[in-house]
Amino acid sequence: MLTIQNPILKGFYPDPSICRVGEDYYLVNSSFSYFPGVPLFHSRDLGHWEQVGNILDRPEQLPLEGGEISRGIFAPVIRWHKGTFYMITTNVDQGGTFVVTSKTPEGPWSDPFYLGEEAKGIDPSLFFDEDGTCYYVGTRPNSNGVHYNGDWEIWLQELDLEKMCLTGESRTIWKGAMQNAIWPEGPHLYKIGEYYYLLHAEGGTAEDHCICVARTRSLEEPFEGCPRNPVFTHRHLGLEYPVTCAGHGDLVDDGHGNWYIVMLACRRCKGCSSMGRETFLAKVQWENGWPVINPGIGKLEEKLELPMETVRFPREVSENLFFEFHGEQLPKELVSIYGRDNEMYSLSKRPGFLRLYAGKHHVGEKAVSTYVGVRQMSYTFTTSLGMEFIPKDSHSGAGFLLFQNHRNFLRAEIRMQNQNRILCVIETIDGQEKALKTTSIEKGLVEILFQVEEQLGKISIVQNEEVREVVGDIDLRPYSTEYAGGFVGCTMGMYASAYGRETKDYADVAWFAVRK
């Protein structure tokens, strides 16, 4: 018996989709405007996960620049059929819905096959019927006219895998389980026993989120809703419950008669969610031909016992991370905003260091900037950044960044001021910049510490084995979804910028670490 802890993927890993190939489970998440896109995870026990890659890891697969951080890639779905992996998703501002394929999960994955204007809406999924027919199922605005905000519908159409295009007529198959339902989305089709099941989310992806299900014996016949819809939600538990927004699920079985569901949910601290929507796991039991999620409990559990043997990996998804830079590629866990290229960083100019070039743009702009970070995974943690930065340009800055969106971020920045090096802690809230504290620093390597405990932050520096606090009691709630809006959680890491100017300045990073 295996005991696992929820969430199974901590931090900003929303809209999970899962498939099983033999004894291996593969899971993907939305990545919005981060590059590389669509992180791909592998497990053999549903509790321990390794990141095997990012499906969209080339610029030609992932045009992003210019949109809000919460735009970009919405709700990917991963499926496997006859030796090929398929991932379908929507780039909501640039290109629309597309499919990529690969023979192996590690890739390389193909360039996108765009499905064109026929694939309206978002949240596409693929279903392979027993006769080999592939169906596209998605969500779109009500085809009879939108009468209220969230008046959408779920629709179905065949997908020709050889030509990679929709074929035949599209059909509306479901408008939601509740009367005047809003945002019926995240649909998935399954054939289980004698029924086709449609699993979908409803109520929006915030506090009213839920999971509903419908079924039919034939895809040519109408679906009937489960009499217990919604079959899962946390909305009845109230806003003070520690886990909210549960919904957007995908079913998977273990091949031995046991069923599970992955879904998103939010953990809050002091009423705010800084980590966005995370991936949780629940058990599923079938009763009278309908799924029951966490039977006898009816809500997400912090710990689950699974009838599986533990399978571990050398490098698992963890809240404790340590990055040194001796390889030829950046680690899979590290992300940037919109994209990255060789003009942004180098792993070879100074062996053992990550060199970050101070680019013209900064993180307050909707353009590619020099930033490399990881997802925040806890409300109590410490980050450590070892950086050497001697700017020649007084306008350049480099250091540590906590990023929520282009209008809400916190940075601890090394600069030059009156021929002296300083570290300045600057908060940007709703686009308004404010310097919190400045302190002088010596030449050489500087360790920047960011210590967080339940939405309060402290920034310190370490030089010559001396720890010096720069500023404490930083309110981190403005970097949450509740304050900043959007669909993403915080990321944090290292950056460099010339703030609108051309420069040859660069910063060398010796390490970046996160420990709980």
Which residues are marked as active site?
Answer: 15, 185
Stated length of the chain? 516
202: nearest Cα among 137, 247, 155: 247
- Reduced to 3 states, what is the DSSP secondary structure of residue 86? strand
**Cα dihedral sign for 433, 435, 441, 447?**
negative
Contact by Cβ (8 Å): 508, 373: no
What one-character-per-residue DSSP string does 470-505 give?
Answer: EEEEEE-GGGSHHHH-SS---EEEEEEE-TTS----
276 within 8 A of 405, measured Cβ to Cβ: no
Q: Tell me how far apart the terminal alpha carbons of the chain are, to the nearest angstrom.
A: 27
User: What would the 3-class secondary structure string for 190-228 be?
Assistant: EEECCEEEEEEEECCCCCCCEEEEEEECCCCCCCEECCC
Our CA dihedral for 248, 252, 257, 259, rounded to 10 degrees, sits at: -20
3-state secondary structure of 101: strand
Burial of 297 per CB tally in 10 Å (0-12, 13-18, 19+): exposed
Tell me which amino acid residue 228 is.
R
User: What contacts 417, CB < 8 A, 6 or more positions away?
Assistant: 394, 438
